[in-house]
Structure 1
Amino acid sequence: MYRSLEYGDTARVINPTDPVEYRLGTVTDVCYPTPHTTYARHYTLRFPTGDQRTYPAANIRRATRADDRAALEAALTSACVAVREACHIAHDFDPDLSAGTASLLRRLVDLATLRLGLTLGPANPARPLTHHQEGGDQ
């Protein structure tokens, strides 16, 4: 069922073109083609940077903070996998670089744990565990 966004709803630009548009925006204005329709013509979003921009309704999708959390979990997991691989390479290349890369991996794992409650094992960060998962061995 179609339901247009309303004032205060959060949304994202479907195809962002600059860094501001990647952020979650809040709907501050809705324009309808006629007074009696439920389909919006365009929305004005206010971004955390303070910018306000207007977009056609087809270029906006409803999004929540939960969507942000899922995106952060995926990004941090990918980053940990990439840094873990860099650790393996750095170990054979240069001891100082190896220590720095291992420290970076540890900091990523700690950040994911402390701020998101995401448990990433440095040896296998591709399979995160959250506090919301129940039972079973990983």
Structure 2
Amino acid sequence: MYRSMEYGDTARVIKPADPVEYRLGTVIDVRYSTPHTTYARRYTLRFPNGDERTYPAAHVKRATRADDRAALEAALTTAAEAVRDACRIAHDYDADLSTGTASLLRRLIDLASLRLGLTFNPANPTRPQLTRHQDGGDQ
């Protein structure tokens, strides 16, 4: 069932064109095609930096902070994999570069662990699996 977003809902631009649009926005205005319909035509979003932008309804999707967490987990995992691979290449290329990339990998793993509770194996940072709590919810 279609349900348009309302004031105060959080949303994300489907195909971001600049760094601002990657962030989670708050719906501050909804424009409908006619006064007696529930189908939204356009949404105006306010982003954390204060920018307000209007988009066609088909260009935004409902999103929450949980979506942000999933995106962060995926991005940090991808970054850890890339830095791990760079670390392996740097080991053969230059000792100082190898030390620096290893340090960067360690800091990335520590950040993911401390702030998001992710656990990576530095040699093989695979995609995190959600753990189930006793009440059945995801972590």
TM-score by length of 1: 0.91
- Identical aligned residues as a percent: 77
Is residue 45 from structure 1 mapped to residue 45 from structure 2 by the alignment?
yes
Q: Give yes or no for contact 2:12–2:22 (8 Å, CA) kept in 1.
A: yes
Cross-structure match for 2:75 = 75
Is residue 89 from structure 1 mapped to residue 92 from structure 2 by the alignment?
no
Letter in 1 for 2:88: H
Secondary structure of the 1:119 match is: coil
Deviation readout 1:6-49 (Å, 9 max, x if unpaired):
01101011111111111110000111122211101111000011
More strand by share: 1
Q: In structure 2, what is the Cα distance between the partners aligned to 1:108 and 1:120? A: 10
Cross-structure match for 2:137 = none
Deviation readout 1:107-135 (Å, 9 max, x if unpaired):
000000011111111011024355x357x
Cross-structure match for 1:123 = 123
Q: In structure 1, what is the Cα distance between the partners aligned to 2:33 and 2:66? A: 31
Secondary structure of the 1:125 match is: coil
Deviation readout 1:44-79 (Å, 9 max, x if unpaired):
000011000111111111111111111111111011
Between the two proteins, the alignment pairs up a number of residues equal to: 133
Cross-structure match for 1:19 = 19
- Structure 1 residue runs without a partner (length 5+): none
Root-mean-square deviation over aligned CA pairs: 1.3
TM-score by length of 2: 0.90
Task: Name segments (4+ residues, structure 1) moved above 2 Å.
Answer: 127-130
Q: In structure 2, what is the Cα distance between the partners aligned to 1:12 and 1:128? A: 23
Worse overlay, 121-130 or 14-23: 121-130
- Structure 2 residue runs without a partner (length 5+): 134-139
Letter in 1 for 2:112: A
Letter in 2 for 1:34: T
